[in-house]
A = this chain, B = another copy of it.
C-alpha cells in the first residue's frame, strides 16, 4: 500500500504533481485538464497546487522538462547500446514506442502543445524536443548511410520525417482503438519493418 502522506516536502509534491498530469493526460485531452482535476487526482485541494507552481503554465513547463529528460534518457541509452547505426535507429524506435506505451499521455501532451496558437514556453519546449529528436535521428541516418546501410537515393530529411511519422502512426491508431496502446509494441515491429525496407540499401 502506497503511503500517500498528507503533507509532503515541496520537491516530492512537485514530482507527484507532474506524474498526476501525465496520468490524467493518458485518458483526457491535455488541454482540458483543470487544476481542480489534477488536485483531486492527488488528494489535495486545488489551491494547494499554487504553493508549488507559480501558475498553470509553469506546471506545463515542468511536465515538458520531465518528458524531455526521460525520453532522451531512454532513447540515448538505446542508441548507445546498439552495435551499428542501423541497429541504433531501430533501437531508438522501439525505445520510443515503449516509452509511449508506458506513458500514453506523452504524445497527447506533445501534440496538444504543438497545436497551440499562443507562443508559450511550453510550446517552444515541445518544438525543441521534437527538433532535438529529429537531430538524433538525422545523425543516425547519416552514419548508417556512410556505412552503406542506407540507400544513397533516400533523402535524409524525408527519412527523418517518416521516422517520426511512423511513431505517430501508432499513436493515432491507439487513439482510434483505445486499448491498442497495450498491443502497440507488436504493431510497431510490422510498421518499422516497412520503414526499414524503405530506407535500406537493396540487396
Task: From A30, A31, A154, A172, name the one whose CB has the most chain B CB atoms within 10 angstroms.
Answer: A172
Known contacts: A32-B117, A198-B195. The answer to whether A162 contacts B166 by CB under 8 A is: yes
Contact with A175, one of B27, B115, B195, B198 (Cβ below 8 angstroms): B115
Are A194 and B190 interface neighbours, CB within 8 A?
no
Q: Select from chain B the residue with minimum beta-carbon distance to A108.
A: B115
**Count of interface residues, chain A, beta-carbon cutoff 8 Å:** 46
Copies held by the complex: 2
A117 and B29 alpha carbons, distance in the complex (Å): 6
Q: Closest Cβ of chain B: how far from A16's Cβ, in Å?
A: 22
Contact with A157, one of B108, B130, B157, B190 (Cβ below 8 angstroms): B190
Residues of chain B within 8 A of A164, CB atoms compared: 169, 172
A residues in contact (CB < 8 Å) with B: 27-32, 108, 111-112, 114-117, 127, 130-131, 151, 154-155, 157-159, 161-162, 164-170, 172-173, 175-176, 187, 190-191, 193-199, 202
